[in-house]
Amino acid sequence: MTLYSQLADRLREHIKLGFFKSGDKLPSVRQLANEHGVSISTVQEAYRTLEMEQLVEARPKSGYFVPETSHVISMPKLSRPPQRPLDVSLWEDVLNMLLSREKEAFCQLQHAMPDMQSKTLKPLLKSLYELNKNRPHEGMVYGDVRGDYSLREQLTRLTAASGCILHPNDIVITSGCQEALSVCLKAVTKGGDIIAVESPGFYGAMQAIKAADLKALEIPTDPSNGMSIEALQLALDQWPIKAILVTPTVNNPLGYVMPEEKKKALYQLAQEYDIAIIEDDIYGDMVYEFPRPKSIKAYDEDGRVLLCSSFSKTLAPGFRVGWIAPGRYRNNVTHIKYVSSSMCPTLPQIAIANFIRQGGYDKHIRVMRKHYKEARDKMLNGIKTYFPSDTLVSYPEGGFVLWVELPERYDAVKLSEKAQEHGVHVAPGQLFSATGKYRNCLRLNYCDRTPEIRLEALKILGNILLNMNTLETKQQKKRA
């Protein structure tokens, strides 16, 4: 156990035992560092952990405090998926959710589509239509199978912010992150192989595992800091795992950022067992903290990390511009990308490259980070207000989705069906597992429509939950 987590454990215990009460000021960072003989940064990391769990709150220039308990919602505990490789199922359910997108719905909390109303996107859109007007020929011809060079150049700049040192030829442009993940899975596996994944984990990745005839081994995952390294090691000892697929920086659906030490530990395990890491960094630039944390790829000494990302969460999914930094798998990845869809449309790539070069991208994500952080807090408040009191919720450190664990008596699939009747869409938790776990969970975005409409949607969900509960209690009484 790391120093910071030992310290966090002790502080957590003290708060829970009541040594520090609601509203109390906690010891200063310096004081704790001296008391425990650890570094300032260790104490900061410990406080950061507790902050994510909403057990402490930082007040600018005043230090750390125990928040008013009325504001606290606990986080879900470490997940406990079955520890054996499984075939992924649930495609029908994923498809139903994908096809349920309706412009007319009251509130669509089911998808992970960014808010695209910001004025900061305007220069990008203008650039795109001007390219279509003035340089249509470039949009018509076959482009480079690896993607437009100007965009790959800009991507070396963007990925440098997460600690990667790449050359444009170390990058392959893809049709979104979905193609990136699928291509990488195929580049490092053969049919029947086992992939270690987070649990819960992104349904698109789960379905890609299914389509590539692979098996998913879901690793217990802590909603505050990611995949359990201990559990991963046990799994690696027991099974011939071919690759680890992780979303360590702003996880989907949980929203955590895996601490730096844990990222390093995960990389070291991959080295030790000589396997590949497919790192999904699609939300990486949407972390609320600035500068953004390093990716696992930043520690990659021997090219075993395949970094996947896209502009679908930072700019707009409709452009279908993603990328892979495939490390030592470059030749294989280029082959599979070519076979998968030949090349990607060129004009969106040029438009995005221009947008990054001219500073539009940095400006946009700065605005959106702030925007989503505020939206998160409102959403958490809404859940606190309208959902059953024993509901658990993740505490996203970036992006625009969160994970709700309802008390076990609730069925999120039923909730989802009932909610649709009221024009409210949610993503049932089971889609985020290989085989139908998390039936009492759901993922909600906090970017569709306005905060007011989202609050109203939460109220509708809360009412349905209340009725479901009453109904069940009645049925139980009847049976008794």
The answer to the question of residue 119 lying near its own copies (CB under 8 A) is no
Distance in Å, CB of 468 to its own copies, minimum: 30
Stretch that binds its own copies, among 8-16, 90-98, 245-253, 389-397 (CB under 8 A): 90-98
Q: How many CB atoms lie within 10 A of CB 478?
A: 7
Work out which of 76, 81, 147, 176 binds its own copies, going by CB under 8 A: 176
* β-bridge pairing 305-310 and 276-280: parallel
Size of the site for its own copies (CB under 8 A): 57
The answer to the question of residue 142 lying near its own copies (CB under 8 A) is yes
* Apex 156 CA angle, 337 and 327, nearest 5: 50
C-beta of residue 79 within 8 angstroms of C-beta of residue 221: yes
Closest by CA position to 3, among listed 62, 61, 46, 60 = 46
Closest to its own copies by CB, 66 vs 344, is: 344
Stretch that binds its own copies, among 24-32, 175-183, 395-403, 404-412 (CB under 8 A): 175-183
- Whose tokens are 């990607």? That residue is 344
Distance in Å, CB of 35 to its own copies, minimum: 51
Distance in Å, CB of 207 to its own copies, minimum: 5
Q: How many CB atoms lie within 10 A of CB 29?
A: 17
C-beta of residue 325 within 8 angstroms of C-beta of residue 166: yes
Q: 421 Cβ partners below 8 Å, 6+ apart?
A: none
Report d(CA 273, CA 242) in Å as an integer: 9
* Phi-psi map region of 160: left, alpha, beta (phi>0 left; psi -120 to 50 alpha): alpha
Report d(CA 227, CA 223) in Å as an integer: 9
Distance in Å, CB of 106 to its own copies, minimum: 17
Distance in Å, CB of 246 to its own copies, minimum: 18
- Whose tokens are 């349904």? That residue is 203
The answer to the question of residue 99 lying near its own copies (CB under 8 A) is yes
The answer to the question of residue 149 lying near its own copies (CB under 8 A) is no
Stretch that binds its own copies, among 10-18, 173-181, 258-266, 397-405 (CB under 8 A): 173-181
Report d(CA 110, CA 425) in Å as an integer: 5
- Subset of residues 261 to 280 that bind its own copies, contact rule: CB under 8 A: none
- Whose tokens are 């509130």? That residue is 107
Closest to its own copies by CB, 91 vs 106, is: 91
The alpha carbon of 381 is separated from its chain's Cα centroid by a whole number of angstroms, namely 21
The answer to the question of residue 96 lying near its own copies (CB under 8 A) is no
- Tokens at 264, concatenated: 């390093």
Binding marks (x or -) toward its own copies, 191..230, rule CB under 8 A?
x------------x--xx-xx-x-----------------
Q: 255 Cβ partners below 8 Å, 6+ apart?
A: 394, 395, 396, 397, 398, 399, 401, 402, 403
C-beta of residue 139 within 8 angstroms of C-beta of residue 343: no
Stretch that binds its own copies, among 142-150, 158-166, 249-257, 277-285 (CB under 8 A): 142-150
The answer to the question of residue 320 lying near its own copies (CB under 8 A) is yes
- Subset of residues 369 to 388 that bind its own copies, contact rule: CB under 8 A: none
- Subset of residues 333 to 362 that bind its own copies, contact rule: CB under 8 A: 334-336, 338-346, 348
The answer to the question of residue 167 lying near its own copies (CB under 8 A) is no
The answer to the question of residue 81 lying near its own copies (CB under 8 A) is no
**Under the rule (CB under 8 A), what is the footprint of its own copies?**
91, 94-95, 98-99, 101, 111, 113, 116, 125, 128-129, 132-133, 136-145, 174-176, 178-179, 182, 186, 190-191, 204, 207-208, 210-211, 213, 316-320, 334-336, 338-346, 348
